[in-house]
């Protein structure tokens, strides 16, 4: 029966593989996030589905200075209140992730898969054989796409490996992981271990 530490260890290894793939693809296209405030990629209250990703974010959160933890929780509470008032509202749809401080992700080392792979077009083959595709960020579309129209990351193996880790986490915990938005997750974090 896998322990939480084992789940996190496997997740960190998977993140390393993602980072290597992403770095190679970005390098091939000279795509850099330098001086990007990240607001486009971080202006979505992303939904997380896996225990490991949530647990790792919590670990990173608890390592932050106390005042930063408080600030993230305050910001997250605000985003949740926007969503509760109206999920379709401009204030919710334009809300920046609570961990984005002036363009810097305060949880960069712990950020989830969706953040790690954002920016470069992708495809993924689902278990039923259907294919999903997504586009790159604005910078990619404006500065890279024309010169590298074929560049994309195949996320299929990453999704499959992530699903395996989550299946083991659910078995070990005997509980499914309720999906949470980033704001809900941060809002629910305790300030102390």
Interface residues with ligand SF4 (CB under 6 A) are 38, 42, 46, 97, 99-100, 105, 107, 111, 115, 182
The least CB distance from residue 111 to ligand SF4, in Å, is 4
In the complex with ligand SF4, which residue's Cβ is closer, 33 or 170? Answer: 33
Rounded Cα distance between 7 and 15, Å, is 12
In the complex with ligand SF4, which residue's Cβ is closer, 105 or 170? Answer: 105
Rounded Cα distance between 173 and 2, Å, is 9
Neighbours of 75 (CB within 10 A): 20
In the complex with ligand SF4, which residue's Cβ is closer, 21 or 181? Answer: 181
The least CB distance from residue 116 to ligand SF4, in Å, is 8
CB–CB of 73/180 below 8 Å? no
In the complex with ligand SF4, which residue's Cβ is closer, 135 or 175? Answer: 135
What is the C-alpha radius of gyration for the chain, rounded to an integer number of angstroms? Answer: 17
CB–CB of 183/45 below 8 Å? yes
The least CB distance from residue 105 to ligand SF4, in Å, is 3
The least CB distance from residue 106 to ligand SF4, in Å, is 7
The least CB distance from residue 103 to ligand SF4, in Å, is 9
In the complex with ligand SF4, which residue's Cβ is closer, 9 or 116? Answer: 116
**Beta pairing class for 104-105 and 180-181:** unpaired
- How many CA atoms lie within 13 Å of 176's alpha carbon, on the beta-carbon side? 4
The closest of 75, 73, 95 to 186, measured between CA atoms, is 73
């Amino acid at each position: 029966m896998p322990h939480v530490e084992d789940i996190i260890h496997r997740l960190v290894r998977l993140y390393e593989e993602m980072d290597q793939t992403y770095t190679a693809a970005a390098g091939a296209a000279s795509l850099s996030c330098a001086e990007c405030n990240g607001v486009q990629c971080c202006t979505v209250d992303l939904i997380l589905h896996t225990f490991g990703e949530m647990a790792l974010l919590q670990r990173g959160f608890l390592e932050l200075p106390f005042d930063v933890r408080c600030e993230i929780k305050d910001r997250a509470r605000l985003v949740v209140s926007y969503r509760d008032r109206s999920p379709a509202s401009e204030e919710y749809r334009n809300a920046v992730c609570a961990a984005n401080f002036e363009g810097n992700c305060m949880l960069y080392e712990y950020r989830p898969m969706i953040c790690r792979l954002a920016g470069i077009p992708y495809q993924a083959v689902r278990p039923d054989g259907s294919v999903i595709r997504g586009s790159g960020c604005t910078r990619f579309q404006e500065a890279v796409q024309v010169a590298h129209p074929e560049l994309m990351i195949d996320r299929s193996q990453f999704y499959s490996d992530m699903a395996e880790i989550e299946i083991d986490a659910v078995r070990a915990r005997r509980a499914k992981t309720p999906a949470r938005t980033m704001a809900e997750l941060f809002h629910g974090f305790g300030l102390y271990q």
